[in-house]
Every structure is written in C-alpha cells, then in structure tokens.
Amino acid sequence: MLSRLKHLIAVSVAVVAVMAVSGCATNPDVTTQTASEDLVGTYWKLMLLDGKPVTVADNQREAHLVLGEDGRVAGSTGCNRLMGSYRLEGDTLTFSRLASTRMACPGDMATLEQAWLAALSETAHYALVGQSLVLQDADDRALAELKANALY
C-alpha cells in the first residue's frame, strides 16, 4: 500500500511541476507536509510500542535511539543501553547486529526491553510525520512511534 501511495505522490508532484512550468496556476491552499526533524542525529524517545503507550519507570532511563551518521545506532531499552548498526535507503530502514548491556531489569522493564528490541529487529520501513518517527514492518504495520527530543 505504501508503494502505491508513493507512486501516487510521485505522479502528483510531476503533474504539479508540469503545470508550474507551463504557467498554469496551482491552488495556493495546497501545501506539502515535510518532516520537521532529521532522522539521523536526532534523539528519538519511544512513545508507543505496538500501539500501547510506553511509560518511564521511576529511576529508569527512557527507551530511545539515536541514528549516527556513521551507520551506527545507540540508545536505551529503558533499562539497558543498546547499540548496533542500521541501513537507510529511501523509506527503507533496517537494524542489524543489535546488542544491549546485560543489567537485570525489573518485571515490566524486562518485558519492554524484549518488545523494543523485537520491534527494532522487525523494522523494514519508516515514516516521518512532523516530530514523530514511525517504525514499520515489511507489511507497513506500525511497530513503534517515537518523538523527537532536543539534545542539549
């Protein structure tokens, strides 16, 4: 479905470009929505996992990730640090060689950690919408939603 939507968007952009070049007026109320945050180099805080809100336990780190310009990913599972590699091509995003530190995590944090690592392993695509990053599987099903936070 996403590939059909991309094709439709590409055709629409081409039509608008042809109209602009040929001198035809375009609708001034139509705007193109672009992501307000860069994917790489942004601190992405995990907000939803499999459609469910993620809460930060007292005295625990928040689950997050940061994609480096060098193809490396770093972050937290909410309990342990995570690290690995990623590959980015168009809207395709995949993670590999994911690893985490091995601190014992209390009940719910251990469950969150396993689910977060599984979602990253299943990620095949992504979408940026404003300050949100949605990780999707190969069928374009949303696995996780993250929010951009400023790095200080």
Residue type, 18: V
Between residues 45 and 29, the one the model is more confident about: 45
pLDDT digits (tens, 9 = 90+) for 29-43: 322 334 557 899 999
Q: How confident is the model at residue 51 (pLDDT cuts 50, 70, 90)?
A: very high
67 and 110 part of one domain: yes
Domain that holds residue 28: 1-32
Q: Which pLDDT score is estimated for 152?
A: 58
> Residue 151's pLDDT band (boundaries 50, 70, 90)?
low
User: Residue 139: is its pLDDT beyond 50?
Assistant: yes
152's CB contacts (< 8 A; 6+ apart) are: none
- Identify whether residues 46 and 27 lie together within a single domain: no
Decide if pLDDT at 58 tops 60: yes
Residues 7 and 77 in one domain: no
One domain, residues 20 and 41: no
Q: How many domains does the chain have?
A: 2
Q: Measured in whole angstroms, how far is the alpha carbon of residue 46 from the centre of its chain?
A: 9
- Give dist(CA 53, CA 78) in Å, integer: 13
Choice among 24-28, 57-61, 111-115, 124-128 with the minimum mean pLDDT? 24-28
Q: What is the mean pLDDT of residues 62-78?
A: 96
Are 41 and 28 in the same domain?
no
Domain match, 122 and 135 both: yes
